Amino acid sequence: MLTIDQATYDAIVAHARRDHPDEACGIVAGPEGSDRPARFVPMLNAARSPTFYEFDSADLLQLYKELDANDEEPVVVYHSHTATEAYPSRTDISYASEPNAHYVLVSTRSEGETEFRSYRIVDGVVTEEPVEVVASYA
Amino acid sequence: MAIEVKIPTILRTYTDGAKAVDGAGETLSALIDNLDGSHPGLKGRLITDEGSLHRFVNVYVNDEDVRFTGSLETTLKDGDSVTILPAVAGGSR
Per-residue pLDDT of chain B (93 residues; tens, 9 = 90+): 699 999 999 999 999 999 999 999 999 999 999 999 999 999 999 999 999 999 999 999 999 999 999 999 999 999 999 999 999 999 887
CA–CA gap between residue A27 and residue A56 (Å, rounded):
13
The answer to whether A58 and B66 have CB atoms below 8 angstroms apart is no
What are the structural domain ranges in chain B?
A: 3-86
**Residues sharing a CB contact under 8 Å with residue B91, sequence separation 6 or more, in sequence order:** A23, A47, A49, A51, A52, A53, A89, A91, A92
Residues A85-108, mean pLDDT to the nearest whole number: 95
Residue of B nearest to A107 (CA): B92
Tell me which fold the domain B3-86 belongs to.
Ubiquitin-like (UB roll) (3.10.20)
Tell me, what's the pLDDT at B93? 74
Q: Residue A57 — pLDDT band, cuts 50, 70, 90?
A: very high
Q: Which of A74, A131, A81, A128 lies closest to A99, judged by CA?
A: A74
Task: Count residue pairs from A and B with Cβ separation < 8 A.
Answer: 84
pLDDT digits (tens, 9 = 90+) for A14-52: 999 999 999 999 999 999 999 999 999 999 999 999 999
This complex has an ipTM of 0.92
CA distance A35 to chain B (A): 15
Across the interface, which of A61, A77, A90 has its CB nearest the CB of B63? A61
Q: Is the pTM of this model over 0.90?
A: yes
The answer to whether A26 and A45 have CB atoms below 8 angstroms apart is no
Tell me, what's the pLDDT at A99? 85
Phi and psi, residue A28, nearest 5°:
-125, 120
Give chain A positions within 8 Å (CB) of B90: 52-53, 79, 88-89, 91-92, 95-96
The answer to whether the Cβ–Cβ distance between B87 and A49 falls below 8 Å is: no
Tell me, what's the pLDDT at B1? 61
- Prior bond to A42 cis, omega within 30? no
Q: Is B25 left (phi over 0), alpha (psi -120 to 50) or beta?
A: left
The answer to whether the Cβ–Cβ distance between B90 and A100 falls below 8 Å is: no
